[in-house]
Each structure stands twice: as C-alpha cells, then as structure tokens.
Chains A and B, each alone.
Chain A
Amino acid sequence: MTDVLTPVLTRNWADDRAWTREAYEAQGGYQALRMALDTVQREGGPDELIEQVKDAGLRGRGGAGFPTGMKWGFIPQDNPKPKYLVVNADESEPGTCKDIPLMMASPHTLVEGVIISCLAIRAETAFIYVRGEVLHVVRRLRAAAREAYEAGYLGENVLGTGKRVDLVIHAGAGAYICGEETALLDSLEGRRGQPRLRPPFPAVEGLYACPTVINNVESIASVPSIVSGGVPWFTGMGTEKSKGYTIYSLSGHVRRPGQYEAPLGITLRELLDLGGGMREGSEVKFWTPGGSSTPILSAEHLDVPLDYEAVAAAGSMLGTKALQVFDQTTSVVRCVLRWTEFYKHESCGKCTPCREGTWWMTQVLQRLDAGAGRDGDIELLLDLCDNILGRSFCALGDGATSPITSAIQYFRNEFEAGMRTPSWELFPPERSVAWASPVGDEAAEVTEGARA
C-alpha cells in the first residue's frame, strides 16, 4: 500500500536554505536533468521524454487536467519556427495556494522541470510568467535562474551537450484573467491580457505565433520526479485515470490548514482527519474541491475521491485541488456574492455574456445578501448563468456561474431567506472569523473590541 501522504514536491520545503542550488543539489537535484540529457542523446531522442510523460499519465495540475504529454505531442516539430515553453505561474484562482509556496521554497524544482520540458518539446526559450503580487517568490525565481545559468544548467550549452535553453522570469501586473493560457500569451507579448480565439491552438500558434506549450507550475515541477523515478513509480500512485501524487491545499475553518501532498484520490474526510478535523464546535457546511470556479460541494461529499473522474461524477471539478472549507457559521449567499464580485472585477471585457452578466449577477446577489431580494431573483440568477455558461469567450465566464448554480442547488433556502433577511443577521460574520469560536459569545466580544 502507498502511504497516505507522499511528499515529493514538498519533501525539501523544511530543508535549510532549500531555495539555493547547493541545497537542491544536495538532495539529488538536477540528476533528473542529466538523465533527460542522456535520453535525448540516445536513439529515442526527445520524443522518448514526451512518451515518458504521456505514459506516466501526468495531467495538468492547473485546473483543467489535460494530459501534459499529449499537449507536448501537439507541437508540430516540422514547423521551422522557434518553439516556446511558458510556465503558468499566475496562481490566482481563489483558494489556490500551492504553486506560490513551491516556488518560494524550491524554485530549482521548477527550473529543472523547465529545462527537461524544453528538451522534450525542443524549445530553446522558456518563460515563467509569475503573478506580480508575490515579491519574495519573484526574488527566489530570479536567483534560481541566475544560479542555474552559473552552473551551466541553463544557457547556450546545457551541461556541455550543445543544447540551448534560456529562461526568462516575467512578473505579471495583477490580472486573474492572465491565468487563462491565451490571455497569458497576450500579456506576455506586452498587451492587455485578453483571451484569444481558438483555433489556432497555442501548440500551433502561441507566443509570437510560434508553437508554444503552456503548463502549470506543479505540472512542470512534477516532470523531474517522473524522469528520475520512472513511469511505474509515478503510476504506482493515484487512481486508474488520475495518476501520481499532487498537492492538496486545505483552507478555511479547519484545525490545520495547509499543503498536503498525497496520491490522487484521497478524500476530504481523510485530509481533515489528518489535520484534526474542523475547528472546535465546527462542522463542514460547504467546500470547493478546486477553487471558486469549481461548483461547491457539501457535507455529503466528504468521501468523494479527489481525482478528476470522481469529483466530476459528483457534479464538480477537481480543478486546482484548492479545498476551501466553510463551516455552519458561514452564509453561502455572502460567499457567492463575494466570488461573483471577484469575477465581475476580473472580467476582461472582451465578450458580452461575461462582461455584462457578471455585473447583473452581482446586482441580484447584492439584493439577496441584503435581505432585499425580489420574487423571481433566484430564477433570474439561474437564467443569467444559463446565458453565460458555454456562451462566454473563455472559462472565466463559465467559472463565474459555478458558485451560483451549485449554491442554489444545495442551499436554495438561504437564497429564499434573502428575500426577507440580510445574510449578516442569519449568519453574523463575527462568528466566522479565524479568531472566533463558532459557538461562543466571546467571538462577538473580540470583534466588537477590534472595531472600537
């Protein structure tokens, strides 16, 4: 049996100065790169690396779960244009908080993954597009790239093999939409971050209209372990169609929020049990399996295996494995309103359903939150969602409907209560805060004192 938790990417995070090349090499770092270079120079060549990642069944860890090796295979190698690798490090999906600690603690894991992935797809230039709002992570990435150049892992002659790989660390400037891969490409070209029409897909015409692979941080960071551990090792973890290990991010009203690295298929109940469950006096009311764009689930879903298939069968999506857990003190209407305000704020304005729809939905939800909902508001929300889902230009609009439709499905009575009673009367916010007890009166006192 595989152990319940399987630290691979997180394994060195507690090491002294784990972010340095010296520390990374001391625990075996950059050995996978040497193995990959051997593979590339043998008969199978770079295609063998692509096959390894395909056979491992690695699926994109940024939300969509698309097979990484297949994405690499779409790059037309007979196209004479340069090929590019772009790492999507624009981690901004509400609830998602795995890539930032990874790049902070062990940026060389990602850099090694970048170099190997470039060898596989025959790219000579890679970019890490990291969101701008994480200063120390940007420092760690820049230093790691510099150290990798100094050691000859990056540059015009990678470890003397004649292979060239250059890496640019690129900080964004605050726009959730740039996590959408084609918007990211426009942003990386120095434009407003708005998504592009597909086809052509980025594999054919991506950055500068050249063949481009865009992968999430965790996906690329997983590549060295597949190369050094081997396909059977990786596929020995996880479930039938969701192979390997991954990082689950637990947050909210739980006793021990944090990063838990486990084989795909662990359940929320198991994760909660590991960390001592919910906070004192607290029970699960609703949770997101993979960020705010994945439909919420409820206490009846605690035993759903957290892999791509089972979460989909339960009516949601595994997404980024961002498990935001809310207890009985929390107003679902308040949460859905806040998420909707987020999508409204982040809508890029390119397509009408998303640009207009998120504003309309926010207005209706503000009424319901304030206890001033009108007859037919719930139906109006569902109708708006129906007109956005599948009709917006990219997944942002689709994602904006997820919290609304799923919350109405499971907690319709709270929306009905919003016709008469404000959310803050039904669920006093001071009972939900981190420093409060969900049952005691001391909570109210603390918050009152804080406001005085």
Chain B
Amino acid sequence: MSTEISSETVAELQELMARYPQPRSALLPMLHLLQAVEGHVTTDGIELCAELLDISAAEVSGVATFYTMYKKHPVGTHHVGVCTNTLCAVMGGDAIFDRLCTHLDVGNDETTADGAVTLERIECNAACDFAPVVMVNWEFFDQQTPDSAVELVDALRSGQDVVSPRGATVTSWREAERVLAGFEDGRVDEGPAAAGPSLVGLEIARDRAWSAPSAKGGEDS
C-alpha cells in the first residue's frame, strides 16, 4: 500500500490547488489525479491531500467515499460502464449488462481475472437519445447491443485500438482520470463535433429550409 507518491505528482497537486481562489476547491480534481497515479484512492493519497490542504484525513475520506467515480479498490485497465437507468435499461441496457457479466465472469464493480476490464452499472450518462449506452473510460459507445458490447470488451481485452464514435481513441481509465483532473492529453481534435441523434433536428430543419427568424428585420421565412 505504501507506494511512494512522487514529487512530480505533489507538484501537480499543488498546481491544481493554485487554480482556485481557495485551495480546497481542488480536492475533487486532486482525487482524480491520484486515481490516475495510483489506480484508485489509497490511504496514502488521502493523507497527502489532507496534508496539502491542511484538513483532516477524515474530511478527505468523507469526500472520497461520497462520489461514485472514486474507487476504493484497484480498477482494471479499462472501466466499462453500462447504463441501467430506466430508459437505457428498457432499451436493452439490462440485457447488455447481464450478457457482459456472463461473458466476463464478473459481477457489478468487479474486475476480470486478467485485470483488463472493470464492469459497473452506471446511472444516466446524458445520452438517452443514443440508448442503450455503454461508457469505456467515460467515452461514449452508443446504440449498443449485447453482441456489440461483447465485441467491444473483447477488443479492449486483446489490446486492440478502440475508438469512440463520439470521442477519441480509448486510452486507459487512468489516463482518462488525468484529463478529468485537469491536464489536457492532446486528443481534443479526435472525433466529430456531433453525430447521429444529436443532429436529427438540425437535419430535418435543413431539409425543410426551416430556421430561426433572422435577427434583423424580424422574420425571414
């Protein structure tokens, strides 16, 4: 457990603290960064945050246990979240989750024996028009089926390149956590601006030559 947290990491944690009017505001990003470094929230990480922010370890622990993205156990190389909130569940999320449990031989919040994939049921991830939705390291994989989800996790386990249809090439859960903490990874220009259902209304409007009124001179259509 007592992995040494490097001085570079400490410097980055301090960099995050300096971004806010009050340093404690950086606690959530700091915990994201420590997950990137350590693979989960560790006792060492909690104590380091407490020391840097001059608050108690209990206070940091209270925060780390409140939010579902912070993990108390090591996470696999990839985090696979299946939305089983109502709409996705009805549209197939339950069937996808069941199939992945069987295929990977894991239950909720468990990691495959090879350490490649941690499977988790997740709540609504704000992509209901793409239901059912699966997230890999918090990148969108839209309109999934049990078969496509199995293909997806098999590709992840075999180390193939996997690309989100509305995002970047999948890296690892730890690398994703580093971006969430506040450090860019140069992948912002990958993927489209929008795709599929995001563009439905716009496409119908264009087909029918509909638009908002023009700003000057009232209505133009």
Interface residues of chain A, those whose CB is within 8 Å of chain B, are 1-8, 10-20, 82, 91-97, 99-101, 104-106, 125, 131-136, 138-140, 142-143, 146, 168-176, 187-193, 208, 228-230, 232-233, 236-237, 245, 248-253, 256-262, 274-275, 292, 322, 324, 326, 330, 334-335, 338-339, 342, 345-346, 348, 429-430, 432-435, 447, 450-451
Contact = CB atoms under 8 A, between A and B. Distances in A.
A73 B221 CA distance: 35
A177 B218 CA distance: 42
Contacts of A191: 24, 27, 63
Contacts, number: 309
18 contacts: A6-B212, A7-B211, A11-B211, A18-B193, A94-B87, A131-B126, A133-B138, A173-B68, A189-B22, A233-B213, A257-B130, A257-B197, A257-B200, A292-B86, A330-B90, A339-B86, A342-B86, A342-B123
A324 B212 contact: no
Contacts of A346: 123
A168 B167 CA distance: 22
A429 B166 contact: no
Contacts of A139: 168, 179, 184-185, 187-188
B76 interface: no
Contacts of B219: 1-2, 236
Contacts of A435: 92, 145
B194 A275 contact: no
Contacts of B159: none
Given A94-B86, A104-B194, A135 B200 contact: no
A334 B94 CA distance: 12
Interface of B: 19-22, 24-29, 31-32, 53, 62-63, 66-70, 81, 84-87, 89-92, 94-95, 98-99, 102, 122-132, 135, 137-140, 143, 145-147, 164, 166-168, 176, 179-182, 184-185, 187-189, 191, 193-194, 196-205, 208, 210-213, 215, 218-219, 221
B24 A100 contact: no
A348 B65 CA distance: 12
Contacts of B19: 168
Contact of B126 (A11, A134, A173): A134
B104 to A, nearest CB: 14
A206 to B, nearest CB: 13
B179 A132 contact: no
B168 A142 contact: no
Contacts of A187: 28
A253 B86 CA distance: 13
Nearest to B164: A136
Sorted from nearest, which 5 A-B pairs have the closest CB atoms? A258-B200, A258-B197, A190-B27, A260-B201, A173-B67
B1 to A, nearest CB: 22
Contacts of A104: 166, 193-194, 198
